[in-house]
Amino acid sequence: MNTDVFDGPRPLADVLADYRANGWARVGRLCSEPELEALRARIDAIMMGEIVYPGMFFQRDTDNGSYDDLSFGKGYEGPTLRYRKVEKLEMDPLFLRWIEDPRFYAIAREAVGPELTLYRALVFNKAAETGGSYLPWHQDGGRFWGLDRDPTLQIWTALDDAPENGGCIEVLPGSHLRGLATPLGGVVPKHLLEEHRAEERALRIPARAGEVLLIHNMLWHRSVRSTTGKPRRALTACYMDAATRCLRTKRTPRVFFPLFRDLSLTSARETT
């Protein structure tokens, strides 16, 4: 397989140029309707307990949409479509097949490197009944992530339409170029949001079901509640250089899931 061939609607060079300059990029609508139907049915079956993978991570959403009221560490709380996120989706062969799509290898090889591992793969869900919760301005990196280097690439796939009033991603273009807002990472402090006029400069990125976006981990981004009365599910996967190591000491350091083994071996043979 020629992994240099990128058959998305936008040329790979243009996508990567946007990602590097702005911290995000539209790739195009890569996921077909049959694939979307299968992925949506699968995540619903996982949330409803019809398909079980021991060790999968769950976080139920709040009833009031408040990020501050979220609970942590409870895991699976029974059948419901109101989980805010479901993580470790690489356990599921259907999701893993999408995460390892060769078109994503073409992107990740250029943006990160030829040998790759997965930090996390999860579905963020804004339930139809509640509109989900507000996710404040944040970055996906820093000491909170416990790594010897910050990842830089997330590939985000809309499983449902995410219109402007439907909980779409909002970004502060170019904010990734400043690096971490705080050493800890995570939520961006209020005084920095005011200093950089985040509310004034926020850019909404509506997406169609099946559309793929690139998000730089250091990009300031958020999402608000949906008012459409429809679910807004999106799969995001964080791709890392395979040399990345976990720094945690209180527990056994994490070993990260290897990706694209066959493609990376093919790529290495082609360059020798």
The DSSP-derived string for 130-154 is: T----EEEEES-SGGG-BSS---EE
What are the tens digits of pLDDT across the range 175-195? 999 999 999 999 999 999 999
Residues 94-147: pLDDT tens digits? Answer: 999 999 999 999 999 999 999 999 999 999 999 999 999 999 999 999 999 999
Q: Is residue 66 over pLDDT 90? A: no
pLDDT at residue 264, as a whole number: 65
Averaged pLDDT, 221-241: 96
Residue that wins the pLDDT comparison between 48 and 70: 48
CA distance 60 to 71: 8
**CATH, domain 12-270, list 3.40.50.970, 2.60.120.620, 3.40.1830.10, 3.40.50.720:** 2.60.120.620
Q: Which of 87, 90, 63 is nearest to 75 (CA)?
A: 87
Side-chain-side CA neighbours of residue 47 (13 Å): 23
Q: Cβ of 267: how many Cβ atoms within 10 Å?
A: 18
* Residue ranges of domains in the chain: 12-270
Rg (CA), the chain: 18
Percent of the chain at pLDDT exceeding 90: 85
Query: Looking at residues 38-61, what average pLDDT do you find?
Result: 97
Residue 9, pLDDT score: 78
Determine the residue type at 44: D
Q: In angstroms, rounded to a whole number, what is the distance separating the alpha carbons of residues 251 and 159?
A: 34
The mean pLDDT value of the chain amounts to 93
Q: Are strands 221-223 and 116-126 parallel, antiparallel or unpaired?
A: unpaired
Q: Output the pTM of the full model.
A: 0.93
Element of type H or E holding 201? helix 198-201
- Indicate if the pLDDT at residue 160 is higher than 90: yes
pLDDT of residue 114: 97
Look up residue 241 and give its two tokens.
């250089």
Give every CB contact of residue 240 below 8 A, 6+ residues apart in sequence: 112, 116, 117, 118, 119, 147, 151, 153, 256
